[in-house]
Amino acid sequence: MSIVHLNTAGAGLMSPRTVEAISAFMSREATLGSYETELEYDELLNRQLYRRAARLLNTEPGTIGFFSSATEAWVSILSKLQFPKGARVWVSTSEYAANLIFFNYLKQSRGIRVEVIPATDQSPLDLDWVERNISDDLFLVSVSHIPSCCGVVNPIEALGAILRQSPALYVVDACQSLGQLTLDVQDIQCDLLTGAGRKFLCGPRGSGIAYVSPRLLSRLALNFADLHAAHTDGLINHVAVSGARVLEIAEKSFSALVGLHNALDEYAQEGAAMATEPYALLTGELKRLPQLRLLCDGYAQSGIVSFVPDGMPPQEFVARARELGLNLWAGTAAHTPLLLKDLGATHFVRASVGRRVSVHQAELALEKIRQIL
Ligand SMILES: Cc1ncc(COP(=O)(O)O)c(C=O)c1O
């Protein structure tokens, strides 16, 4: 049975070429030795990879760092930022729960004040509210571009344009939009943008990317630099690497990075446009089904569509779909607690459409969904 994979928001399917790149690297490690293979791949791992990610985000390679996940990137970087006591922080309604947990710890340790940028009926971010409430004491604004629960698209460029009026740092969690929507950090005007390699980019698990603006980098208090970036005579540290790489950990999954390098290459060649039609078809047809309640239906969405089915737990719905060869996912409302606080259910069914899903596969998925209902 061939599988229709609509769980790219969990992890996208790697292409045969990406799998081949990873296994060629691993085979080489097994014959030549891991450190020796790393030396052979020096150009790819230390230069091409950074150039590719930089091109994707329209930035310089020195602003790019690689991590093992989006959360590791986001948390390890923001952990190096000194939040002033009582700092004022804004978050989006789409905020990912791990980010909120981080801010809650800072409420305890630094007494920061976290305010939620309200939504309107048309937009997940009320930009008029932002204009009215922005002030010089705003320290940081954090927005999840697309939440993990559905395809709501936050207007990050418009928000960035307003935030330029204030000294606030601007952080974008692009985990669900990286590889799905165009992300240009010059347009967004953000200080930090993070994402995972495994989702819409269709890279391997264990890879995360961060863009760090020179402004943010200069404000981070380095509490550590690993040995790819620093050395010591035992008493004094000498940091030899400039740019976002100083934030990385030296030991990485190099095979994952080789796979990510290929996935970035493929994305640059293919673009994301291929998924637009199957996504529109799927969403349009799901809206017609009276047995489903679509999440955040009033907002413009992309790539992900979620629903609560009548009379069947989402976990059971997803298990039935899997038996029929359709990969959906039972999303957890607690992962996007602000946006889904009124959902009235702990879980929902999430369908996410990667760029290689065809219209035919979207039709097959709809057939299977109707069969379950
Ligand atoms: C919006 C958002 N941010 C962050 C993450 C965390 O990504 P990772 O699992 O790579 O840490 C996710 C994961 O699903 C997500 O959906």
Task: Measure the CA–CA gap between 154 and 176, rounded to whole angstroms.
Answer: 11
The CATH code of domain 16-270 reads 3.40.640.10
* Ligand 1 contacts CB of residue 103 (under 6 A): no
Report CA(148)–ligand 1 centroid distance (Å): 7
**39-75 pLDDT tens trace:** 999 999 999 999 999 999 999 999 999 999 999 999 9
Substitution site in 148, 180, 253 for ligand 1 pocket (most atoms within 8 Å of beta carbon): 148
Task: Measure the CA–CA gap between 284 and 140, rounded to whole angstroms.
Answer: 37
Question: Is a pLDDT exceeding 80 seen at residue 232?
Answer: yes
**139-171 pLDDT tens trace:** 999 999 999 999 999 999 999 999 998 999 999
* Ligand 1 contacts CB of residue 70 (under 6 A): yes
Residues of the chain with CATH 3.90.1150.10: 4-13+273-372
Question: Is a pLDDT exceeding 80 seen at residue 272?
Answer: no
Q: What is the pLDDT of residue 74?
A: 98
Task: Measure the CA–CA gap between 332 and 295, rounded to whole angstroms.
Answer: 13
Question: Is a pLDDT exceeding 90 seen at residue 342?
Answer: no
The residue length of the chain stands at 373
Report, as an integer, the average pLDDT of 292-303.
95
Question: Is a pLDDT exceeding 90 seen at residue 135?
Answer: yes
Task: Measure the CA–CA gap between 349 and 126, rounded to whole angstroms.
Answer: 27
* Ligand 1 contacts CB of residue 260 (under 6 A): no
Helices (H), the chain: 16-32, 34-40, 42-43, 49-57, 70-78, 97-110, 127-133, 156-163, 185-188, 214-219, 254-270, 276-288, 314-323, 359-372
The ligand 1 atom nearest the CA atom of 145: 1
Question: Is a pLDDT exceeding 80 seen at residue 273?
Answer: no
* Ligand 1 contacts CB of residue 95 (under 6 A): no
Q: What is the pLDDT of residue 57?
A: 98
* Ligand 1 contacts CB of residue 302 (under 6 A): no
SS3 content of the chain, % helix, strand, coil (to 5): 40, 20, 40
- Between 217 and 275, name the one with better pLDDT: 217
24-59 exposure pattern, b = at least 16 Cβ within 10 A, e = fewer: ebbebbeeeeeeebbeebeebbeebbbebbbebbeb
* Ligand 1 contacts CB of residue 194 (under 6 A): no
Read off the pLDDT band of 126 (50, 70, 90): very high
Q: What is the pLDDT of residue 274?
A: 72
Task: Measure the CA–CA gap between 332 and 348, rounded to whole angstroms.
Answer: 7
Written as one letter, the residue type at 141 is: V
Mean pLDDT taken over the chain: 96
The CATH code of domain 4-13+273-372 reads 3.90.1150.10
Q: What is the pLDDT of residue 343?
A: 85
Residues of the chain with CATH 3.40.640.10: 16-270
Residue nearest (by alpha carbon) to ligand 1 atom 14: 148
